[in-house]
């Protein structure tokens, strides 16, 4: 619905679907659904809660978190100014409201996102609040209901916002292990990092009528592919036809449908779960510290050159990471590993060439290696889709991860991608859900996982292979929630500001090491990896061994616990206290 005055002051609203002029009170009685055409207007989080929960049952969870501007991000406005404006216009502290309540008498924990607050973007505070809601559900042994509305990860918090996809996903994994129901309700719109994590990796996924969901937005897909989009692309009915949601629900039926699902699940749930509960937060933090010490390299060769890596401008580093001569995953499989045997296919009908994987040896130890493959020539890049994995690529990687766990093999991932495939067919085949399932699986994989950012680490497509016990990064690689060009196009007047965006995003290895996103920077030869691939391979091999060997002695349950705590530390409390970049 469109109007110029604030909604609370409007007597009339014009429907965005059919342009009918509607009496505001009548529209509100109809749950903000147009009685003429059925258009579902977007709701703020407070109104959504009023519609869904039993009267008098709502108990808001604390939303008090430290102020966090981890990157000192400035585009045309400083990030704190944007936050202040969002708070003033919405009356909310952040882009999500979390609470406990009952729905039809069934107790639940809820996290309801609000698109009015910076586009419902997923930042450290939002991730922390949703994770706390999930932890409350685990403590209370109640279902978790998520209402999503988001444009994706919050660019102003860079890679730290990307980490929230893993942080929330592992909280959902803990609920799954405890036998507790998780439900997401997709509302309009749900895109990017939210779609590719907790919006689609819950037990049940419902879509409100009129909702749109996808990994890449329609505008981005049109710009990249130059193709017209199918009728109804990414709408709730489209998602249902392509098997990506359990059901499409009219707003007036949503509360009743949730009541029925909660009742059925409660009736079938055992009284107790055999899965042990998590330790108190203080103990979990101690385990995280122990894990960091446990996996810290002791071999000086793993650090490459003894001196501090040369400081390079962020935009120059981006161009270095994209250099066509830079070693690829297949190059490293030939120079760092021995006896590589490639395994193909997702077992569902496709074999994505942008992902290569299989069994290899590292200093005589068998490992499962999975990585993005670009290429050096134009023909190779096109054949490999520039390293942008399709859903079948992510599912192939998932199959190999699970196989590694069954065989007791460590997993080594090599990340080099601009991002996941943004094409129409990728959306039809469930790109967001495929990425989400990889992230969720990696949080619970009972075998050592070691990730290396070797070139470009682009958004959720990179994170789908980078939820690991240890994350290494080559000196001239980059890792970011969005490309500098994409960030510039959204937050600056045009794409010519890409170099400025690159600096603001803090996407270089030294920056990310200070932020704790990566554990170690592997130095490259004095020029770059593509000028001396043999020396680069030698340094990477030493770093892999120094980081992997300590992990081999850790019991599987402890590995999973430490891995979860590694990503849990990216909550707003920790980020707000960081001063490494200042």
Locus of tokens 């919006």: 199
Domains, in order of start, for the chain: 1-41 (no CATH), 42-268 (3.90.226.10), 327-480+506-570 (3.90.226.10)
Closest CA to 545 of 448, 434, 426: 448
Distance, C-alpha 278 to centroid of its chain: 23
In sequence order, the 6+-apart residues with CB closer than 8 A to the CB of 281 are none
CA distances for 293 relative to 305, 512, 517, 539, angstroms: 22, 18, 16, 21
Query: Is there a contact between 127 and 571 (Cβ–Cβ < 8 Å)?
Result: yes
d(CA 204, CA 261): 9
Query: Is there a contact between 321 and 457 (Cβ–Cβ < 8 Å)?
Result: no
Report helix, strand or coil for 193.
Answer: helix
In sequence order, the 6+-apart residues with CB closer than 8 A to the CB of 324 are 376, 377, 381
Per-residue pLDDT tens digits of the chain, which is 582 residues long: 444 444 555 687 777 777 777 767 777 777 778 777 777 788 999 999 999 999 999 999 988 888 778 888 988 889 999 999 999 999 999 999 999 999 999 999 999 999 999 999 999 999 999 999 999 999 999 999 999 999 998 999 999 998 999 999 999 988 988 878 889 999 999 998 899 889 988 888 889 998 999 888 888 888 777 788 888 888 888 888 777 787 888 999 999 889 888 876 664 444 443 333 343 333 333 333 333 323 333 333 334 433 445 567 899 999 999 999 999 999 999 999 988 878 888 777 778 899 998 888 899 888 889 999 999 999 999 999 999 999 989 998 998 898 888 888 899 999 999 999 888 888 888 888 899 999 999 999 999 999 999 999 999 999 999 999 999 999 999 999 999 988 888 888 776 889 999 999 999 999 999 999 999 999 998 888 898 999 999 999 999 999 999 999 999 999 999 999 888 888 765 555 444 444
Model pTM above 0.85? no
Residues composing the chain: 582
Beta strands 355-362 and 338-342: pairing type?
antiparallel
């Amino acid at each position: 619905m469109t109007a110029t005055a604030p909604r609370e002051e409007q007597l009339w609203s014009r429907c965005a679907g059919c342009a009918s002029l509607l009496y505001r009170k009548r529209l509100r009685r109809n749950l903000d659904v147009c009685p003429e055409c059925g258009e579902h207007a977007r709701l703020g989080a407070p109104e959504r809660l009023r519609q869904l929960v039993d009267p008098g049952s709502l108990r808001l969870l604390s939303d008090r978190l430290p102020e966090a501007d981890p990157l000192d991000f400035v585009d045309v406005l400083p990030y704190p100014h944007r936050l202040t404006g969002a708070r003033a216009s919405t009356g909310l502290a952040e882009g999500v409201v979390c609470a406990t309540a009952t729905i039809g008498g069934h107790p639940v924990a809820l996290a309801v996102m609000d698109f009015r607050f910076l586009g419902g973007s997923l930042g450290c505070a939002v991730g922390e609040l949703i994770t706390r809601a999930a932890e409350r559900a685990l403590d209370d042994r109640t279902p978790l209901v998520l209402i999503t509305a988001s444009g994706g990860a919050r660019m102003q918090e860079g890679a730290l916002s990307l980490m929230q996809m893993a942080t929330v996903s592992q909280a959902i994994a803990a609920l799954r292990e405890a036998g507790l129901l998780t439900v997401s309700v997709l509302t309009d719109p749900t895109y990017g990092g939210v779609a590719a994590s907790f919006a689609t990796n819950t037990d049940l996924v419902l879509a409100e009528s009129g909702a749109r969901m996808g990994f890449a937005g329609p505008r981005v897909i049109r710009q990249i592919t130059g193709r017209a989009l199918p009728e109804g692309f990414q709408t709730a009915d489209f998602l249902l036809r392509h098997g990506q949601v359990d059901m499409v629900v009219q707003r007036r039926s949503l509360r009743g449908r949730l009541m029925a699902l909660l009742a059925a699940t409660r009736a079938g749930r055992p009284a107790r779960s055999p899965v042990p509960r998590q330790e108190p937060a203080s103990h979990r933090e101690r385990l995280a510290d122990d894990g960091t010490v446990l996996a810290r390299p002791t071999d000086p060769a793993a650090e490459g050159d003894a001196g501090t890596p040369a400081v390079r401008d962020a935009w120059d580093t981006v161009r270095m990471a994209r250099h066509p001569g830079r070693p690829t995953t297949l190059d490293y499989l030939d120079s760092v590993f021995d006896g590589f045997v490639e395994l193909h296919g997702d077992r569902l009908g496709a074999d994505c060439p942008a992902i290569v994987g299989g069994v290899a040896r590292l200093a005589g130890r068998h490992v499962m290696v999975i990585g993005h493959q670009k290429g050096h020539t134009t023909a190779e890049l096109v054949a490999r889709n520039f390293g942008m994995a399709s859903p079948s690529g992510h599912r192939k990687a998932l199959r190999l991860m699970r196989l590694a766990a069954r065989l007791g093999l460590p997993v080594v991932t090599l990340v080099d991608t601009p991002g996941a495939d943004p094409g129409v067919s990728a959306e039809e085949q469930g790109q967001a859900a495929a990425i989400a399932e990889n992230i969720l699986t990696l949080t619970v994989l009972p075998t050592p996982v070691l990730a290396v950012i070797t070139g470009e680490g682009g958004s959720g497509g990179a994170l789908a292979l980078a939820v690991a016990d240890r994350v290494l990064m080559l000196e001239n690689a980059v890792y970011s929630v969005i490309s500098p060009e994409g960030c510039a196009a959204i937050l600056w007047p045009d794409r010519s500001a890409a170099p400025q965006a690159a600096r603001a995003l803090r996407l270089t290895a030294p920056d990310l090491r200070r932020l704790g996103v990566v554990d170690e920077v592997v130095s490259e030869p004095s020029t770059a990896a593509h000028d001396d691939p043999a020396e680069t391979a030698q340094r990477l091999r030493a770093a892999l061994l120094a980081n992997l060997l300590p992990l081999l002695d850790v019991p599987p349950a402890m590995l999973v616990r430490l891995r979860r705590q590694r990503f849990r530390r990216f909550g707003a409390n920790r980020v707000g206290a960081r001063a490494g970049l200042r």
